[in-house]
Amino acid sequence: MSTASVAGKLPTANEKKYLKTKEWVFYLLAMFFFSSMTGMVNSYRRAYLVDVLLLSNDQLSFFNGFTQIVGYVLSFIYALILDNKKIKNNQKFKPLGLLAAIPCGVVTALIFWTPDFVQRNPTVLLIWLCALALIQGCATYFGGTVTMVAAVMTPNDKEREQLLSFRGIASAIGNSAPLVIVLVVAAIIKAANGGTENAALSYFISAILCGVVGTITMLLGMSVIKERIVYKSERKNPFKGLWNVIRSKHAWVILISEFLKSFRGIATFMEPFIAAAILGSSSQTVLFALPVGIGTMVGMLIISRLLKRFTSRVLYIASGVYSVCINAIAFGVGYAYLTHMETLPWLNYIFIVCLFGTGIQFGASNLLPEMFKADVLDDLELKTGSRLDASLGFFIGIGGTISGALANIAVPYILYGDGSIIQYQQGLGDGTAQTLDTKIMLLLFYTVFHGLMMLLAGLPFLFYKLSGAERERVHTEVLKMREELAQSEGVEAAE
């Protein structure tokens, strides 16, 4: 018989509140600033590569494809480590989160620092960039345990949903924080340089700020949280857990949805470039991202309320329909503004409102898949007796990796260079000098293409059955199973 690697207690009811105020505060702070580190990289690395390092579209395509594919292969190893590591003191995620905090902060800054001798040699430059990207992928994978741990901090289903909702909000706001940081830092540097911008320095200083604060809050947050489920210490064949995930029809639905959703990476890639083309500089990206970010937060709050009346499955499908509608409206308003900028300047305010509307859909697409994953983990735990957090994440990631790799390889050829669709010009001091056709095509990909991908991402959930009464049954039975395991091993109820 296996032994439970826990000296904690398991609940006998689903009504008790387990999370302490200190855990709420420090966990959400850790989530916020961890997201600011990943958000700094996700928001500005592409602008840094295109407009600062001036990579050719061949170089950028290779970088995107290589790091995505190799990073995913490495994530298989990371998943095996995470789901099969020896668990001490009932802490599966906490030690890894603490270990990854400092590497996450350091590599966030290094991504935006390229020595002169590296820049002079294209081959050395690509090796440098790819190595940093893979190191960052490793650090954020294990640093991402700050995200995973939310599913096991409370056995109370409603309290878990509330925590996941607030985690999503903290993550969304934190992800947008670098946009404000870069804007402020760029303004200070511009004033100090007599009105001349220095994008490279702005990105580097902003990344250092995100890295330092992110590291400190991760260390604090992961120090105070507590995992409150019973883990089995029995070591099993690591491939057996992955096979159990592969056999889950619910996991397949999420995988197909993520495959379709990840093509929206082409749309989100355009954000700093459309900001530069319309507002003059990628440092102004916050003026696009802020209404989207606020909309994302509001969308999560709306979804949390609607979950009391509708199932997560219904809401996700409906959010896809909403997405294509609001993005089509945003494109129409943006097109009218770009073509009648002098006679109808007030349309820019309506466009900002439309961006807020698109953000509401981001709230649904960010929050609901995490709830689906938590439910599938419960279903797998009920069937196998094991928590397969990393194995599920790896399997679902297959879809996103394939489509993400295709999107990342294609997007440089869509954006700039000879024969590209958009014909974006690199390195312009004033981004508004881009042609009108370029601005319109950037807008098309940024809005309509994104809406279509989110509509398609919702369609697989027409076949998703782990919802409503079935979801409640699974959660009730898995709580009962954990209680029986705790009693058989002489473990007391969790606090």
Q: What is the pLDDT of residues 438-459, one digit of tens each?
A: 999 999 999 999 999 999 999 9
For residue 1, is pLDDT > 60? no
Contact at 8 Å (CB) between 347 and 216?
no
Question: Where does the pLDDT of residue 7 fall: very low under 50, low under 70, confident under 90, or very high at 90 and above?
Answer: very low
pLDDT band, very low/low/confident/very high, at 342 (cuts 50, 70, 90): confident
What is the pTM (predicted TM-score) of this model? 0.70
Higher pLDDT, 158 or 32: 32
Q: CA-based angle 208:70:368, to the nearest 5?
A: 70
Confidence category of residue 5, pLDDT binned at 50, 70, 90 = very low
Kindly report, residue by residue over 138-195, the tens digit of the pLDDT. Answer: 999 999 999 989 888 888 878 888 888 888 888 888 988 898 899 899 999 989 988 8
Give the sign of the dihedral formed by CA 29, CA 34, CA 37, CA 38.
negative
Residue 480 vs residue 229, higher pLDDT: 480
pLDDT band at 132 (very low <50, low <70, confident <90, very high): very high
Distance CA(290)–CA(140), nearest Å, equals: 24
- Band (10; pLDDT cuts 50, 70, 90): very low
For residue 489, pLDDT over 70 is answered with: no
Q: 4 pLDDT band (50/70/90 cuts)?
A: very low
Q: Does pLDDT of 103 surpass 50?
A: yes
**Contacts made by residues 69-78, CB under 8 angstroms, sequence distance 24+:** 69/401, 69/405, 70/130, 70/134, 71/133, 71/134, 71/137, 72/397, 72/398, 72/401, 72/405, 74/134, 74/137, 74/138, 75/137, 75/141, 75/394, 75/397, 76/394, 78/138, 78/141, 78/142, 78/390
Element (H, E) at 374: helix 347-384
Instruction: Please tell me the distance from the alpha carbon of residue 409 to that of residue 403, in angstroms, as a whole number.
Output: 10
- Does pLDDT of 9 surpass 70? no
Query: In terms of pLDDT, which residue wins out, 389 or 7?
Result: 389
471 confidence band (pLDDT: 50, 70, 90):
confident
Quickly state the pLDDT bin for 280 (edges 50, 70, 90): confident
Instruction: Report CA 421 to chain centroid distance, whole Å.
Output: 27
What average pLDDT does the structure give for the chain? 85
What pLDDT, on the 0 to 100 scale, is given for residue 3? 42
CATH number attached to the domain at 20-227: 1.20.1250.20
Q: For position 391, what pLDDT does the model report? A: 80
| Torsion over CA: 424, 425, 427, 430 (sign) | negative
Which pLDDT value is given to residue 35? Answer: 94
Query: Do the Cβ atoms of 363 and 210 come closer than 8 Å?
Result: no
pLDDT of residue 308: 84
pLDDT tops 80 at residue 235: no
CATH 1.20.1250.20 domain span(s) along the chain = 20-227, 234-495
Confidence of residue 341 (pLDDT cuts 50, 70, 90): confident
Backbone angles phi, psi at 232, to 5 degrees: -85, 135
Residue 8 has pLDDT above 60, yes or no: no
Give the confidence band of 279 by pLDDT, cuts at 50, 70, 90. Answer: confident
The correct answer on CATH 1.10.10.60 for the domain covering 234-495 is no
- Cα–Cα dist 460/462, whole Å: 5
Q: pLDDT value at position 237? A: 61
